[in-house]
Structure 1
Amino acid sequence: MAGETIKQSAEKQIKDTIEDNRDREAEVLPIDEEEEAVSLQKVGTEEMIQEGVHNYSSADSYVWPADDKVVQKLEWFKDQKLALMMHWGPYSQIGIVESWALSDADAYWSRNCIDWDVSGEEFKKQYFDLNKTFNPIRFEPEKWAEIAKEAGIKYLVFTTKHHDGFCMWDSKYSEYKTTSPDCPFHTHRYADICSHLFESFRKRDIGIAAYFSKADWHIDSYWSERFDRGNYQYRGPSYDTSENPKEWERFVEFTQNQILELGSKYGQIDIMWFDAGWVCKENKQDIRLGEIIEKIRKFQPGMLCADRTVGGAYENYVTPEQCVPDEPLGIPWESCITLGTSFSFAYEDTYKSPREVAGLLIDIVAKGGNLAINVGPQPDGRLPQGAVKSLLGLGEWLKVYGEAIYGTRVCAPYKKNGIAFTKKQDKIFALETFEKDTDEVPSQVIIPYEGKVSRIYMLDSGEEVDFKKTDTGYLLELPKWKKEKAPIARVYCIE
């Protein structure tokens, strides 16, 4: 079977893989603080990538949209707060990082679970052949959408195509896709994965963001052995685009056709989410993204475009990865953070608890951002049970406290002394979070809020709370906590 060698190797070394993934997650910092960040050439702003984790654009490079419909859509985006991100493709079969192991320049970290008795060239061939064994016959888009709805998810960010070029939709511009005859899944009723998944989520009033990589390591107009680099491939094109304008134009036409296909044949798309900013930053030419986005906006008015790390008019919001900014950014943003240890599916992975995810969400929302929590589906088409349990636990919390999350905006002092703040119209929410089940739950709490207060009550019960003004805020007198475990958060409504 194609890919069997690396599959066996991955299974033998899976414990090492998981530990490596955990180490990478634990070490994630804002990239400009990493001493060994891989620095790329720059056009305008600089992008750095450390082991597949991207930096995010600064507020200085943000361009507020002039299109009123895009402005209105940004307000919708800021109301949503919680997205489900999904990285899924043939790579999920062997439990390795998505796509990156194909790049020879990134082999030092991305092939850490690959049997090095297999040459790099043999590995790349085996990877590209994984489409011939991808057969997720237990994929049920309605179940995914129902889980997302119960979890409180408001929009989906789904990888229609990652850097490896494999299309999760029936693209007429590529044969490397789920509906191609050499992919066993092509006979399944859900073979056009994007079509069925998007429709299932829309039926539950969950928005759609189509993730699309501007790189395509499968098509020969981007990667080819015909140029000086030969077999050795880097994340960028394998040729100088200024010296090969016809080849580059061939790639641009292919890319624009696929983007238009997604934007015109797959129903309402709320956001187009573009990865691989280096594609344009390393070249004098680019893919002329604005042309195709404006064409789509003629029939999808206001559709947002997240041209991540590029800045400018088509990065309508910025995307911190595996980190949360220290302060509000003052512009629209979304942190994409893994629920487990990896964006792609990892065997025997561990997942953040509902308490941890709620804490992340509160921190992000208090700073004016959204959380895109990532789950990598299993190769058989199911969502991992550990991930589902965590998502549903988060949903139970949001059913009670969602008013303090959804549709809110930043409120000074944002976060102070363990208390996070949000606001909705004239109502202020103060969220007191607890990191562990065993944390002490005090009977006296100081809310460090400086505005005038006439009334404070508990969001869950509606019970009014006695308080008095102090030099540091408002002192609340609360009943003794009688439950065995600390709550995820106590939420106070301030009027």
Structure 2
Amino acid sequence: MTTQGFTVPDRWKWFTESRYGLFLHWGPYAQYGRGEQVLFREHLNQQEYAEAAARWNPVHFDPELWADTAKKAGFKYACLTTRHHDGYCLWDSAYTDYSSAKQAPGRDFVREYVDAFRKAGLRIGLYYSWIDWRLPAYFDGPEKDPEGWRKVRDYLHNQVRELLSNYGQIDHFFFDGVWPRNADDLRSVELMEEMRRLQPNILINNRLGYSMERQGYRADGGAGAGDSDTLGDFGTPEHLVEVDRTRLWESCQVSTWRLWSHVIGERWRPADTLLDLLCECAEKGGEHGGNLLLNCGPTADGQLPPQFVERALEIGRWLEVHGEAVYGSDGGSLTEFVTRGRQTISGNNLYLIIRFWDGRPEMRLPDLATPVTGVTLLTTGQKLEFEQTEDGVIIRGLPIEAPTRLFPVIRVECESRPQANEWGRQRLWEGDPSRVAEWARGQRGTSVYLDGRER
């Protein structure tokens, strides 16, 4: 698979074929039910928070059930927050006792997660936060506290090495929370090189900090579109879908309205909205990645919220039928189709993902230039009649009622990889405006009057 400027190596093709990953924000902050950053956002007492974290014991955590649900929901990989900004570790770290292994649970949750998800056939991702709100030296930095900063940086590097040395193959690594440090402070470039030595096939995200020493390295280090041009393997637009033209990318999105961890009273996005995010990523992906990393915040006692499970499994059932339009697709938006839905391409097939089903028996697909050999309503398997002209394709025989509560999909089978005509390549508000002038001039004239004739 080729992108603009680079070829995706074979070891990373699993990422472009997956399209859909599960993000898991989970830790002692779930006890508060007010978001994963409650310690900082509400300026809680540090010692009281730590004592509550040490008592946290999610007795209903069943990693095999999580993995089984993720597989049924159609996810192909997952990423667990091994340590968020509060500093609590979900594994048996040799460098601190502030962990699930050494406090109340007495369990290595990362080990259990990795084993269960790998057994279920999912790729393994780990999230790790640079920032630790407990450690003053992180915020004082090397200028104010050089010795304290050195100890903190060694701690961070050692924990990353630990995670990549003790849990088998790690496929995906998601850094977060650089602020207020930068890549030079963190020595993130050197750490990334060490990570590749430990895990040659790993994909590392772009939240690695800005480097003054190495011109050209840029990264956002937090929420946003993921501005890194060259550092890291994939971009991480957060709360939005934004194509990274220079690398692989995945949009990380919440399944609720805003927060990442379990929140009491949070509102949930409906299944069609979540599915549309996945389809948007696939459509916009081109050959750059275009994945969705959809978040779930498990409850404090270790369960996946039923609201999430209900929505995820509904999408999973849709993917069982329509997955070929998403998994391994090469993006779409081949022709003007916003009035109907989204498009993806895989091989010689163009997939029409219908967001708006109008109940009419015919559908016009403009601007497809490649000869069509067949049209199938993928949702039901029904073969549809079609007529192709130089202006596009007319598809006939569509049912009045939408054949699925979510998005019906039509597969348009072509003689070769689908290509658009000039109108399909140049869209509304884009391209050469002279084509619009010629269109208007040739079909109605030049004047403001009804018949287009000058008076």
- Contact 1:401 1:491 (8 Å CA) reproduced: no
Report the TM-score, using the length of structure 2 for normalisation: 0.79
- Contact 2:22 2:296 (8 Å CA) reproduced: yes
Deviations 1:300-339 (A, max 9, x none): 21211103244254421111111123x6746311111111
- Which residue identity is paired with 1:358? L
User: 2:176 aligns to what?
Assistant: 275
Structure 2 residue 127 is matched with structure 1 residue 211? yes
User: 2:195 aligns to what?
Assistant: 296
**Consecutive unaligned residues in structure 1, runs of 5 or more:** 1-61, 104-109, 112-119, 223-236
RMSD: 2.5
- TM superposition shift of 1:454: 2.6
Structure 2 residue 88 is matched with structure 1 residue 166? yes
Deviates more, 1:199-208 or 1:348-357: 348-357
Deviations 1:242-293 (A, max 9, x none): 3433222211111100000000101110011100132433x8x322223233
The counterpart of 2:394, out of the listed 475, 479, 492, is: 475
Q: How is 1:352-391 mapped onto 2 (pairs within 5 angstroms)?
A: 352-368=269-285, 369-391=290-312
Please give the secondary structure, in 1, of the residue aligned with 2:205: strand
Report the TM-score, using the length of structure 1 for normalisation: 0.73
- Contact 1:64 1:316 (8 Å CA) reproduced: no
In structure 2, do the counterparts of structure 1 residues 216 and 292 end up closer, same or farther at CA, with 3 Å as the change threshold?
A: same
User: 1:16 aligns to what?
Assistant: none
- Partners of 2:95 and 2:174 in 1: CA distance: 20
Percent sequence identity over aligned pairs: 30
Q: Bigger relative contact order, structure 1 or 2, given CA contacts below 8 A and separation 6+?
A: 1
- Contact 2:206 2:236 (8 Å CA) reproduced: no
Structure 2 residue 24 is matched with structure 1 residue 95? no
- Which residue identity is paired with 1:448? P
- Partners of 2:404 and 2:73 in 1: CA distance: 22
Deviations 1:419-447 (A, max 9, x none): 3221222222221124xxxx633322122
Deviations 1:428-480 (A, max 9, x none): 2221124xxxx633322122342312322222343322122356532211233
- Which residue identity is paired with 1:459? L
In structure 2, do the counterparts of structure 1 residues 210 and 328 end up closer, same or farther at CA, with 3 Å as the change threshold?
A: closer
In structure 2, do the counterparts of structure 1 residues 419 and 323 end up closer, same or farther at CA, with 3 Å as the change threshold?
A: same
In structure 2, do the counterparts of structure 1 residues 443 and 331 end up closer, same or farther at CA, with 3 Å as the change threshold?
A: farther
Structure 2 residue 232 is matched with structure 1 residue 315? yes
Please give the secondary structure, in 2, of the residue aligned with 1:79: helix
User: 1:245 aligns to what?
Assistant: 146
Q: Could you list the structure 1 runs, at least 4 aligned residues long, displaced by more than 6 angstroms after superposition.
A: 62-65
User: 1:262 aligns to what?
Assistant: 163
Deviations 1:6-50 (A, max 9, x none): xxxxxxxxxxxxxxxxxxxxxxxxxxxxxxxxxxxxxxxxxxxxx
Larger Rg: 2
In structure 2, do the counterparts of structure 1 residues 82 and 198 end up closer, same or farther at CA, with 3 Å as the change threshold?
A: same
- Contact 1:156 1:207 (8 Å CA) reproduced: yes
Aligned residues: 387
- Partners of 2:4 and 2:96 in 1: CA distance: 34
- Contact 2:363 2:396 (8 Å CA) reproduced: yes
- Partners of 2:369 and 2:5 in 1: CA distance: 30
- Contact 1:139 1:380 (8 Å CA) reproduced: yes
- Partners of 2:341 and 2:62 in 1: CA distance: 40
- Contact 2:171 2:203 (8 Å CA) reproduced: yes
Structure 2 residue 48 is matched with structure 1 residue 126? yes
- Which residue identity is paired with 2:307? G
- Contact 1:429 1:491 (8 Å CA) reproduced: yes
- Partners of 2:13 and 2:197 in 1: CA distance: 20
- TM superposition shift of 1:217: 1.6
**Consecutive unaligned residues in structure 2, runs of 5 or more:** 208-218, 221-227, 415-455
- Contact 1:459 1:493 (8 Å CA) reproduced: no
